[in-house]
Structure 1
């Protein structure tokens, strides 16, 4: 059918890069002004800040593919196979309704009124192709509708209810490595102060 569409925040990537560069500059400044020992004590704190900015702004994404919708949030990733998908709503962000619990997409905030008006002034670029795209709830909702319609028209979702009855459903995977990193860096930052 079609390639995978990944929706992420361009702003989040710039913000994470800026946080990392700022942390390095701050460490070098402290090393020059107060000595290498003081700079080394600050490494866990600055690493914690960069990790948190990465987890909050770079890592979250929504992927739409022929097999599933993947919602990667701050603490967990939820995989929603198409048979388990039940719809969406756009409130403050995109909420994907499933046969299990609803999933709110951290990476898909609703567009501001100004952004929506600006988009209406531009000509419609048509459907998005595969690859990475800037995330907003409306754009992702359109991609989900287009992909689900294409899959239904091709006959791939005709046995969806049977698949759900057989146990197909959303799967949640916690980001234990990120959680552990935050805990360890927090403990190290407290211990070194």
Structure 2
């Protein structure tokens, strides 16, 4: 991990892109139909509401993810982003979701990593950690991401770069993303006056 300065996305919801794109395409087709029939106000309203729904789908299904880099893990959920440096990561556990347990504070649940997704066999960390996993011929390997994160933590701490792996756990709310969504919601409500 220390040789690669760029963060590596471990879990994300790829189907969220499909839903956001499908919503956008349907909205564009509906808006085009309104414009072609001469209903400009309705077409603008459809565009704004389509953008609002696509933004909501993106906030809930596309943006949540778990990212690791040389300094630690970043959990981005729907409302907030939590940075856990490797030096602060005490443990990980697997419940219905993967949870990162910092040395002080409450466990951080990775919403983008439900157990159903974990069983699909994403092996990014397993390959990096070179865990021995016996794979039956008829099934894909089950990856223990929680243990893989601890292996990655130990590797980063052994590299000895305390400037990157140290520091406090930080939590930031996604003000910009939800602010944009709020502005779209206000614009969508105002657009109803055009109809």
For the aligned pair, the TM-score class normalised by the smaller chain equals 0.7 to 0.9
Partner of 2:116: 111
2:151 corresponds to: 146
Aligned to 2:133: none
Report the Cα distance in structure 2 between the residues aligned to 1:19 and 1:151, rounded to whole angstroms: 41
Query: Of residues 68, 72, 81 in structure 2, which corresponds to 1:68?
Result: 72
Displacement of 1:81 after TM fit? Answer: 0.8
TM-score of the pair, normalised by structure 2: 0.74
- 2:15 counterpart of 1:11: yes
Q: CA deviation at 1:97?
A: 1.1
State the 1:86 CA deviation: 1.6
What is the TM-score with the length of structure 1 in the denominator?
A: 0.74
Question: Paired residue for 1:127?
Answer: 127
Q: How far apart, in 1, do the equivalents of 2:143 and 2:116 lie?
A: 7
Q: Distance between the aligned counterparts of 1:143 and 1:15, measured in 2?
A: 30
Per the alignment, residue 42 of structure 1 pairs with 46
> What are the superposed Cα offsets for residues 133-180 of structure 1, whole Å, 9 maximum, x if unpaired?
xxxx956424412212323444557xx8xx6xxxx3211121111111
In the alignment, the residues of structure 1 paired with residue 145 and residue 20 of structure 2 have an alpha-carbon distance, to the nearest angstrom, of 22
The aligned residue for residue 190 of structure 1 is 189
State the structure with bigger RCO (CA 8 A, min sep 6), 1 or 2.
Answer: 1
* Gapped regions of structure 1 (runs ≥ 5): 120-124, 130-136
CA distance in 2, matches of 1:44, 1:139: 43
- The aligned length equals 171
Question: Judging changes above 3 Å, is the alpha-carbon distance between structure 1 residues 92 and 149 closer, same or farther for their aligned structure 2 residues?
Answer: same
Residue of structure 1 in register with 2:57 after alignment: 53
Alpha-carbon spacing, 1:34–1:93, altered in 2? closer, same or farther (3 Å): farther
Which residue does the alignment assign to 2:173? 174
